[in-house]
Amino acid sequence: MGSSTTTPPLTRASVIEAHALIKPHIHFTPVLTNTTLSTLASTPQTPEALKGTPYEGQTPAKPKVKLWFKCENFQRVGAFKARGAFHALARLSEEEKSKGVVTHSSGNHAQALALAARTHNIPAHIVMPTISTPSKIAGTRSYSANIHFSGSTSQEREAVVATVIADTGATFVPPYNHPNIILGQGTLALELESQVAELSNGAVKTLDAVIAPCGGGGMLSGVATALAPTGVQVYGAEPSFEGGDDARRGVAAGKRVETVKTLTIADGLRTPLGDVTWGVISDPEKVKGLFAVTEEQIKAALRLVLERMKVVVEPSAVVGLATVLYNEEFRRIVEKEGGEKGWDIGIVFSGGNTTVEAIGKLFAVDEKKAERAEGVLGAQGEKVAENVAG
């Protein structure tokens, strides 16, 4: 995508340059805080919550946490993907722009690229599986994109992309595995830094850590690239269901996991890392660690955001929050390194592209399951309620 001369190096300076290019076209999304969730994150988990984990029978961690939420669910097209798409198109040559762009995506990247292409009056070809959600097809079409349907496997989608390129000469814009995409996504970290400093009236000069969802790794790589020189520790969060924690497993084994087959409710994170994102995320100097959470923990975190923050997000967006709340390994790191002062942690809400029907279906379970999904907190939640009452 673009010639080598139009692909900047993966550095903080390049992220700053990318931000200047896309700033006229993206929303400056808000950063929110929430006393209840910060208090909950600072409350030890119950013995019940630790049953069946390596920490069963041990004293729960007692981290001190202040949470800062970067709300990319309020970004254009409802997700951070708009940042990478606008930056990728800004880097194309005039000849490339005249021939158009193509990608394969069934979700946020499809809509983001379609929007960016329409904004710059560039033809856009989006290859979407026939099983794509009708609302996402409609959303992509609303941005005047040319939709090409395909089968659901990566091989089928790529075959249609190859045909489009052969017919039109369009430039392929990948969803995540390219420096221009990574640099665009990383711009949210620059905003988060400045917003936290402003909202805290200078009391928080720098965050201690940022935790972001990890699917294909474009956004996590961008955040890590932006923050690497600052001393802010960057972590990734994934679902554990059916091997959805491929990045975590790959880094632990020292080899990239190239295929993932999971039906986790965090459907935006069902994609394996690419070779470019792997190069960033496997570097311990850039990403300090990766953590996985269960489906019930994701549901519990989602319920808290919906009910306590009154913010609509998709399940993929809350895996970072779920990690801070329920992953005992991460919580022990915060307790050890944060000490009495504690940590100010930035959490990226990656997107909000869900529906009332999808949320209803997610929580349409029997009463006992609902208690478990909501009650990973158990008595811990009751303590929080007492602490923040009034």
Whether 106 is a known active-site residue: answer: yes
Catalytic residue, chosen from 106, 150, 282, 350, is 106
Whether 205 is a known active-site residue: answer: no
Catalytic residue, chosen from 66, 70, 81, 286, is 81
SS3 per residue for the chain: CCCHHHCCCCCHHHHHHHHHHHHHHCCCCCEECCHHHHHHHCCCCCHHHHCCCCCCCCCCCCCCEEEEEEEHHHCHHHECHHHHHHHHHHCCCHHHHHHCEEEECCCHHHHHHHHHHHHCCCCEEEEEECCCCHHHHHHHHCCCCEEEEECCCHHHHHHHHHHHHHHHCCEECCCCCCHHHHHHHHHHHHHHHHHHHHHCCCCCCCCCEEEEECCCCHHHHHHHHHHHHHCCEEEEEEECHHHCCHHHHHHHHCCCCCCCCCCCCCHHHCCCCCHHHHHHHCCCCCCCEEEEECHHHHHHHHHHHHHHHCCCCCHHHHHHHHHHHHCHHHHHHHHHHHCCCCEEEEEEECECCCCHHHHHHHCCCCHHHHHHHHCCCCHHHHHHHHHHCC
- Catalytic residue list: 81, 106
